[in-house]
Amino acid sequence: MIEIRELEGGIRVVVDEIPGANSVAIGYFVGSGSRDEPEELAGASHLMEHMAFKGTDELDAKQVALILDSHGGESNAVTGKEFTAFYARVLPDAVGEVTPLMAGLIGEPALREEDLESERKVVEEEILAHFDDPGDLAGEVFCQALFPGHPLGRDVLGTQESVGAISSAELKGFVSTNYCKRNIVFSAAGAITMDEILAALGTSESLKPGAQRAARTAPEEDPERLAVLEHSSSQAQILVGYRAFPRRSQERWPLLIADQVLGGGQSSRLFSVVREQHGLAYSVYSDTLLFEDTGIWSASAGTSPEQGQKTYALMLEVLASLRGGGISDEEVERAKRSIITATRLGADDVSSRMGACAQAVLTGLPPLSVDEACAKVDAVTRMDVARVIDNIMEGPMVTTVVGPFETSQVEDWLD
């Protein structure tokens, strides 16, 4: 059973009570991410993800770690382009202590200058590791090309220069503006009731009232058709894709199925053609990522540089084969069954349920029960999927290649 309440100050609370669960997942989801940062503070959200666990004025990092570890379970945080989440999975009797502790970490973080100095170095190491991963780089370069000149095109980590320049005062200002009750959803799922969560939250004094975050602007510039990053890697990372629908669009349900058919499993077209028939890639798949005002549908493969052009040509053939109603009833039904099965299996994971409810409420959508989500998938027809595929592929396609190539070499692939 899912319940939603809005408390004083505007914080929204969503609880998915799951009878029979042994644990509880809780999370504070802040409705601000890397796209909400001014360019000079690029990476601030991710830096705050790190700094929150450094403690408050009353608790230092070691004390915070001791409290969390004393309850066992798990705690972590994650930064996205449109949200930052701080979450934990614990036993029910720990919720009363861990919930206000985490509220203090994000509502009243100490953000000590000495902690910031050391954590900047940690983040800079993370950025360097990112540069050593061609797959990560391909995703970053792809987003830059798909959303040129827009914050959605920036990586959530920021740059070494931007992170190194963020001061304690600037980070405090960013937190003060974005980490307010009106911009926060608290989500819980598992062996817990709404009344028990409200008791744990109390008055949420650590979280401050504030105005709604600044309105976002949609990408306006047309995508760049080709982006190549020369990189001395042993593989070529190829990523092609399109802009897709916003998260609130009902077309997201047919898109789920189109994505499953394209590259969502071992029977998908990309896997069957690129890997099974031609043996050109170990990793080949497709993916969707939906935002407030736009989205991404992409296909990716990693292959040896000498097979790059052939792999790229096969990826385009597979994409083209989907157009004009080129998807079968059998593929649609198989994809629906796969998604429904994954959804029902995911119902056993309280953390997954907690995150799904939080993201729905952040987006302004009603959180769906497992049965409701499965019914949405099951209602999709082959014509729905065909319509979505043709609609997306009418837009410009972006090609990104990361590997030992110059741009002119990849341009020859496009001829």
The catalytic site residues sit at 49
Residue 125 burial (CB count, 10 A):
11
Rounded Cα distance between 12 and 95, Å, is 18
C-alpha distances in angstroms, 386 versus 254, 308, 325, 399?
8, 29, 5, 23
Residue 9 in tokens: 């100050």
Helix (H) or strand (E) holding 87: strand 84-90
Rounded Cα distance between 65 and 267, Å, is 44
Rounded Cα distance between 5 and 295, Å, is 29
Q: Are 120 and 164 in contact (CB under 8 A)?
A: yes
Using DSSP's 3-state secondary structure scheme, residue 244 falls into strand
Q: Are 28 and 107 in contact (CB under 8 A)?
A: no
10: left (phi over 0), alpha (psi -120 to 50) or beta: left
